[in-house]
Amino acid sequence: VDKLNALAGTTYDGKTIEEIVLAVANDADKKVLFNQAAQHFNHTFYFRCLVPNGKSMPKSLESAIAAQFGSVEKFKDTFSQAGVNNFGSGWTWLC
């Protein structure tokens, strides 16, 4: 976050994190900025999704996962392996 705070007074000042990510996503010269902004977005999204005592998976999501992966357990294994294979603090997303 400190590196993003250094954007104060630049063209990105006052932009949302989503606007910054979208603005620099395809600019090779802004790769470091993209990585910093994307990491901030990912962390914020993750922590906003946490709920006390967890929640059960909606049936519609469970059905879609089972249809795509064969079972929820197979999905969990596949998803976990994808996460383990990331470099550094990379993120794995279900899209």
pLDDT for the residue numbered 90: 79
- Mutual angle of helices 59-69 and 72-84, in 10-degree steps: 70
Cα-atom radius of gyration of the chain, to the nearest Å?
17
List the structure tokens of 13.
């000042």
CB 78 within 8 A of CB 69: yes
pLDDT in tens, 54-74: 888 899 999 999 999 999 999
Neighbours of 21 (CB within 10 A): 19
pTM summary value: 0.67
pLDDT for the residue numbered 91: 85
pLDDT in tens, 35-59: 889 989 999 988 888 888 888 889 9
Segment 67-83 shows an average pLDDT of 95
